[in-house]
Amino acid sequence: MSDGTLTPEALAARAIANGVELWALTDHDEVGGQQRARDAARAAGLPYLAGVEISVTFAGLTVHIVGLGVDPENPELVNGLAATRDGRIARAQEMAEGLAKVGIKDAFEGALNYAGNPELIARTHFARYLVETGICASTHEVFRKYLVEGKPGFVDHRWATLGNAVQWIRQAGGIAVIAHPGRYKFTVNEEYALFTEFKAHGGRGVEVVTGSHTTADYVKYADMAIEFDLLASRGSDFHSPEESRTDLGTLPALPTRLKPVWEALMDRVQKAA
């Protein structure tokens, strides 16, 4: 429902085909797909956990905090996500102005065509439009040339605070997890601060094995999980068969020395009726 290309139903079918044993759909800043995902999983006999991935600004960078096992109808979570989404449209208009300055016209309208919901318009949608127009050959090239810090389509944006995001997830009965920590360009001190403050707010998990981590990252964040006494998670960050490096259900297992986050969530897993 945010910036993936497949429907919740198609994802459930793909998860089953790939041998997934427990699935969570984690849209950015949105829980509108949870009912459909849960129903599709139930119909297919696939155990399901409700999820979300919240955009947070920390030390000047965007960090994603995943919530697992949340109640998608919890008012604190729903209202917090609505506040986080607010501002995406204005940001996208500014991004389009930046792109217009380097000769790329109508990017707002082009990106909007890819964003089902304008409130969730994301850089990914701009990337797809620039590939469609032939300006770049792949979405990765668009990000590198146009959509990251210092490039013409990048607009700094303040998302939720770390404390708020963790609190919304906890109020909704879920476990907060730092998503793909290997992707953030923090200094050692900033990264340490992220983990320390996350714990102080009641965050409990970290993604160790994910589609955007290298094997060196697996080792580094397995060590950090133990150092900070965090539960370990494993997520594909799958968005699209054309764009994602990692398919559902294809990542290696968590290192056995870690405590899997799902063991703490078994009471919230939704099983087939």
Residues in contact with ligand AMP by CB under 6 A are 3, 28, 55, 122-124, 139-140, 143
Q: Which does 55 bind (CB under 5 to 8 A by kind): ligand AMP, Mn ion, none?
A: ligand AMP
Tokens coding 49: 């956990």
Under 8 Å between Cβ of 194 and 102 = no
Site for Mn ion contains 217 (CB under 5 A): no
> Which of 56/258 has CB closer to Mn ion?
56
> Which of 139/258 has CB closer to Mn ion?
139
Q: Which does 85 bind (CB under 5 to 8 A by kind): ligand AMP, Mn ion, none?
A: none
Using CA atoms, how far apart are residues 1 and 77, in angstroms rounded to an integer? 17
> Which of 129/258 has CB closer to Mn ion?
129
Q: Which residue is nearest to ligand AMP (CB)?
A: 122
> Which of 30/191 has CB closer to ligand AMP?
30
Under 8 Å between Cβ of 40 and 12 = yes
Binding mask 1-40 for Mn ion (x = CB under 5 A): --x-------------------------------------
* Residue 197: Cβ-neighbour burial (10 angstroms; 0-12, 13-18, 19+): middle
Sign (positive or negative) of CA dihedral 183, 162, 235, 10: negative
Instruction: Give buried/exposed letters for 137-158 (b at 16+ CB in 10 A, else e).
Output: eebeebbeebbeeeebbbbeee
Under 8 Å between Cβ of 203 and 186 = no
Please give the backbone phi and psi of residue 227, each rounded to the nearest 5 degrees, phi first. Answer: -60, -40
Compute the least distance from the CB of residue 122 to ligand AMP, in Å. 3
Compute the least distance from the CB of residue 33 to ligand AMP, in Å. 14
Q: In whole angstroms, what separates CA 220 from the centre of its chain?
A: 20
Compute the least distance from the CB of residue 229 to Mn ion, in Å. 28
Q: What residues make contact with Mn ion under the rule CB under 5 A?
A: 3
